Structure 1
Amino acid sequence: MSEAIGAYDLVIRGQRILTTAGLAAREVGIRDGIIVAIEPLGNGLTGNEVIELADDETLIPGLVDTHVHVNEPGRTEWEGFASATRAAAAGGVTTIIDMPLNSIPPTTTVDGLEQKRVVAKDQAFVDVGFWGGAIPGNKSDLRPLHDEGVFGFKCFLLHSGVDEFPHLDADEMEEDMKELKSFDSLMIVHAEDSHAIDRAPHPGGDHYETFLASRPRGAENKAIAEVIERARWTGARAHILHLSSSDALPMIASAKRDGVNLTVETCPHYLTLMAEEIPDGATAYKCCPPIREASNRELLWKGLQDGTIDCIVSDHSPSTLDLKDLENGDFAVAWGGVSSLQLGLSLIWTEARHRGIPLEQVVSWMAEKPAALARLHNKGQLALGYDADFSIFAPDEAFVVDVTKLKHKNPITPYDGRPLAGVVRKTYLRGTPIDGQNPGGKLLRRGNV
């Protein structure tokens, strides 16, 4: 107990502190941005600042969102590091990993990575890491990008939506997987099959069911099967992005049982929305792969609970309002992407509590598991030696989403007007409250975090 005599920079005391042992009455001591003491409540840790949690507040670790499109530089009018990281902090997210598109240039070369770091470094309110991109012809760039600290590599198996980030075919993906295996990197895959989508009905018009038919489950299932087999053959680590087709769960579970090095994510929109309730012309709901039926949603929840799906991340993919074709509501024309970076925790918690799923499990899916995916060994848990990243969360407080009050750049989200449970009252990065005025986020490098 001699350690407790010297004052900590910050001490937080409360009845509900979410540690690795679950919710408990604890005192947490922070020094130099690191959690250095976790003691039973009443042990009397002293600090330069002491925070006493209110009875309705829970201290939870900062969330880790490994699927965020920041789009800066090049398409900063869609989103930028300042607006995206403010939104993240408001939602209890303290670490994001930025996707290699839709910025210009994409993060497919070391130069492209450096351009992102230059613009990000003075305007990040949370910690930011970067994925690299795997595209045709950049195999020789993969190792240099890895050595520069990217957390893995993203590829598409069909057109990405932007011409500067072309897709791989399955054989090219396998070649790149072999390369990544040689230095133990990770391939993260947008898994929809281009041939299946080419043969599907055209998505034109404002009927959501027409759009849904244009992105069939079969396209996802076929592409996921390719990822599984190429990962099996190469031994590489592979990750399925934004799973929406519940049909794929049995083969994913089978592959995991076989020892294929595979992980899977899904997103709040697939777990909280359903095709049957999407109005015609409501292009705020458009994303690829699409939001599917209620029965599909229920199976995704089961896949999370049985461990087939590993984590929940936002796939925050914003654009300007005009690109959403709000005037005509044409699902073929509108940009595909859901803006929800600030809302993920409340969305998932609102659904989870109806299902009897505890907050500890929600936080594991949204903090611990994404941190493990990216091998962020000091993020995602309230534990000794970890960064003091956390938020004060009021799980029983309700609010109604008001798109005009969200922090991301363009005021559109399918959740506008939706009542939710769970309010993030304050977020801390390395023991310092995030105020939205003074950017304190660090740029993270793989293996050096």
Structure 2
Amino acid sequence: MFRKSLSLLVLPLLWAGTSLAQTAPTAFNQPRLDSLLTALDANHKLAGTFQLTQNGKVVYRRAIGQEQPGVPATTATRYRIGSVTKLFTATLIMQLVEEGKLKLDAPIATWFPTLPNAGKITVDQLLHHRSGLGDFTRDPAYGQFMSQTKTQAELLAIIQARPVDFEPGAKYDYNNSNYLVLGYLVEKLTKQPYAQALQKRITGKLGLKETYYGGRLDARKHEAASFNWDGKTWSIQPETDMSVPGGAGAITSTPTDLTRFIEGLFAGKLVKPATLLQMQTMQDNYGAGLMPIPFSDKQGYGHFGVIDGYRSALTYFPTDKLTVAYCGNGISSGYTVNDLMLGALAIYFNKPYRLPNFNAPTLTEAELSTYFGTYASTQMPLKITVTASGTTLMAQATGQSAFPLTPVSKTQFTYAAAGLTMDFDPTAHTFTLHQGANNILFTRE
């Protein structure tokens, strides 16, 4: 399924003290990033292609894992990108708005009169996931029909039969039906199949030869199968028929092409600057196909994607002119694409970072519970609450999101993305937080 495609990139730098704030940037540590990718490959955590591009120049590119069973992936391997497709669809819609063929406040009843609340739902609400339409990927039968060829009429009927979730505009709820409908709207207004509109309006303009509306997987085109690591081997995952995700998730691409796409978008090659600013205007942290993706003190924009065993991520940091792109086809437990993005950015920007330890001990819930509580320090005003989610120890600092801690031993835990280590003393009910040159003692209240 491709609906679980959003993942906020948040780095909880708990202590921005003098020693961190005054650290001067140094050269990109490529061997360290290589070590991270090598560890992920050796421990069967991810499979795919990762690329960093700064100011139009590729500074790092590497493929790990396999393209097809027994065939190693290369940097030319093509992957399904899932919901990163939504940024392409939003761009097509905003082009039509610029051309005067569409208004953002237009009710969708003009084109889709049978959909629930069609007279109330606007194009803008579809773009920002505020329509209230039922998500067709949450249909109980989705697992059965996802591999079947479906027509526009059939999929609209499925959406029509779903109960509405809320009144249009009432709130944000990420929903694939919104962008499926927007893809159909592109077809109605351009009088072309989505694939042709995509080629004419985006890929053709930017010379993206490896980006297109997907079909049945074709190994001759170096299209990757998707896999899941089951603890012993990489097993092939079921294949979604690309007639189903449409404008919400049907595009195939590579990190190189995704980089050219988002750089072209921000360079004004696809929409006007004022239109791009509209796309970046957030409603509940979602713009028009763009998510805000912060890292430390930097602000990026992009999208994440999931479909079958594929995972993708695309982020552009305008101030640094840095693009981070990942397309993957292998998933496992204990590590995510979000973790990779955080780790790679920390390494690139020379932030404190500890490589993940995949040989960590497993602690029981009872063992973890000895660390639960809220801790305070006389050295800084921040408080940290320690809890657990299942068998994963969690920490949450004042005003920040909770983050997972990885055990190095039964008393030492790390959060690699922030270069953070917490050494617990269960007898004294304390822990020492190590981050950069800072060593801060916290005591349980």
Q: TM-score range by the shorter chain?
A: under 0.3
TM-score by length of 2: 0.27
TM-score by length of 1: 0.27
